[in-house]
Structure 1
Amino acid sequence: MKQFDTTIVPVWQRGYRFQYEPSQQAYIILYPEGMIKLNETASAIAQHIDGQHSVAEIITLLKQQFGDIADIDADVVDYMCVAQKENWIKLSHG
């Protein structure tokens, strides 16, 4: 796994909103140009992006929720990297 600073705190970009969409029967990221339907893993991670929890804290919360699943750390880091690259979130030191 590449080096990633898990002390950073992810926040949704302005104009992006995470919510459950009954018509999609899934969690989505809503933004001015459209929406992104998330899979179960991405939804579980995204539910903890609140501008308060660091990436390390999100990993801990997910381990408490689901148990110590193999690769959970890598899955969270991968999600954060993709979400930042796609401009869904900002990563900063709280």
Structure 2
Amino acid sequence: MKLENETILEIVPTFRVQWEEVQDCYVVLYPEGMVKLSQSAGEIMKRIDGKKTIIDIINDISATFEGADVTEDVMKFLEVVYGNGWIRNK
């Protein structure tokens, strides 16, 4: 499926994103285990709340990182985690 800028995404209920103090990073928890996220992956995943559109997430991350053009990187990451079943359309 092609993700569009106006798509609203949510994290699939069997997955959970949270900050892990011991790991010093965001992680994705799921019944079989845990995945440590890079800083950029954590920045994206923590913004997926079932309310924001993809363009909202991109604009928020861009503003956080002083106007950096993050569109392509965010879209590629979202396509991967969508394909992995971590997120879905709201």
Question: TM-score with structure 1 length normalisation?
Answer: 0.87
Corresponding residue number in structure 2 for 1:30 = 29
Corresponding residue number in structure 2 for 1:74 = 72
The amino acid that maps onto 2:89 is L
Distance 1:88 1:4 in 2: 14
Corresponding residue number in structure 1 for 2:52 = 53
Runs of at least 5 residues in structure 1 that lack an aligned partner in the other structure: none
Answer yes or no: is 1:6 the counterpart of 2:2.
no
For residue 91 of structure 1, report the CA deviation from its aligned partner. 2.4
Please list every run of at least 4 consecutive aligned residues from structure 1 whose deviation after the TM superposition is greater than 4 angstroms: none
Question: TM-score with structure 2 length normalisation?
Answer: 0.91
For residue 15 of structure 1, report the CA deviation from its aligned partner. 1.2
Runs of at least 5 residues in structure 2 that lack an aligned partner in the other structure: none
Q: Which digits, 9 at most, give the CA deviation of each residue in 1:45-93, with x for residues without a partner?
A: 11110000000010111111112213x001110111011011110024x
Distance 1:63 1:26 in 2: 20
Distance 2:51 2:73 in 1: 20
Corresponding residue number in structure 2 for 1:44 = 43
Distance 1:27 1:63 in 2: 19
* Matched positions, count: 89
**RMSD of the TM alignment (CA)?**
1.3
